[in-house]
Amino acid sequence: MSNDQSTMTNPPQSTRSTAPVFVVGCPRSGTTLLYDMLLSAGGFAVYLAESNVFNLLVPRFGNPGVENNRRRLLDVWLQTKLFRAGHIEPAPLQARLDAECHHAGDFLRIFMEEICRTQQVNRWADNSPEEILYLPLIKRLFPNALVVHIIRDGRDAAASLNKQGWIRPLPGDRRLLASGMYWEWIVRKGRSYGKALGANYMEIRFEDLIARRKQILAELGQFLDHDLDYERIQQVGIGSVGQPNTSFPQESKNAGFNPIGRWKTSFSPSELAEFEDAVGPYLQELGYTVANSAASNHSSTAPRKRALYRRYFDLKIWLKNSWLYRAYYGLLDRSVNISRINYIVMADDVTPPPIHLPVTSRRV
């Protein structure tokens, strides 16, 4: 693994072995697989959901440290899969929130600590990919947080995003191209924010995680000061470790299923040429080999298109965190908010967390 593909430095241990862990990245880049590997290793609270505190709940309901905001949030959130996936009782949680919650970080911490208490472990991790856009805030609220940014080939990530239909293109553009622009935008922001975190930030390539799981998990375990025993992870097999979380479910049933390089059969020649024309330079900057190297470096329109999409995505995230967004969702009734959240979140509120041996630090 080159230095460009992996950034990892170990500061003094102190509370590192119990520090919260945030797994982030562009959606459809393998965050869930990596998160489920952590849970399968033991010692982490098993919460089979993306908490979405910073990127969904706070934008919709406001700072939960404000009592009125918290009341409105709880009135909806306690009825959603996001809460039910924690498999905890609401009364003790509400009592702690009323006594201790001053901001979004407290809300997440208290919720996850209650899950830890129920499961008798002392560490938690959060898997909400788009929290990568809130890393400066997360670092301010969790000074000792460890952040793992997983990066995947933008062509594969975009193919999966395109299949899901999550990214809305600008008029006249293909959704596949918009998905690639989104990948570049969010990965750039994440890497920029990550540099400010210093030794508490690590990058992992999805391709390395698939091809060299044992080695990558050993490096990650050292970074987290947590025993990520490969054999135990494979045996426990929580979530996507045992069942691939893929946008291509039919393909995953085939023998020899490989999530790497799917773009080679997903893109038409014209789609690939257009995509690499726009996103190819950043793919190359990250060390990926492009198929149309000449086209990806000589376009006169690609720089303007990239700049336009960056402004477009910046505007969307600004609006999402504005009072206008909160006002809109404040007009919706409770049942609509519950159904909307349940529709868009990824959460398993049925399967009880497995019981396994607690592991809190890496073996030496």
pLDDT in tens, 306-334: 999 999 999 999 999 999 999 999 899 99
Query: What is the model's pLDDT at position 298?
Result: 54
Domain of residue 227 covers 16-166+188-239+324-344
**Percent of all residues in the chain with a pLDDT value above 90, rounded to a whole number:** 77
What's residue 161's pLDDT?
94
Q: What is the mean pLDDT of residues 152-176?
A: 94
Q: How far is CA 327 from CA 15, 59, 216, in A?
A: 40, 10, 44
* In-domain check, residue 364: no
pLDDT digits (tens, 9 = 90+) for 72-101: 999 999 999 999 999 999 999 999 999 999
Report the CATH number that the domain containing residue 195 is assigned in CATH: 3.40.50.300
Confirm whether 80 is domain-assigned. yes
pLDDT digits (tens, 9 = 90+) for 39-82: 999 999 999 999 999 999 999 999 999 999 999 999 999 999 99
Provide the domain count of the chain.
1
**In a domain? residue 232:** yes
How far apart are the C-alpha atoms of 355 and 52, rounded to whole Å? 25
Q: Show the tokens assigned to 240.
A: 């996507």
Report d(CA 163, CA 210) in Å as an integer.
21
Q: Report yes or no: 158 and 27 within 8 Å, Cβ to Cβ.
A: no
Q: Say if 282 falls within a structural domain.
A: no
Burial 318-343 (b: 16+ CB within 10 A, else e): eebbeeeebeebeeeeeeebbeebee
**Cβ proximity of 144 and 69 under 8 Å:** no
Tell whether pTM > 0.85.
yes
pLDDT classification of 245: cutoffs 50, 70, 90: low
Domain assignment present for 7: no
Is position 278 within any domain?
no
Residue 355 confidence (pLDDT): 62
Q: Is residue 234 part of a domain?
A: yes
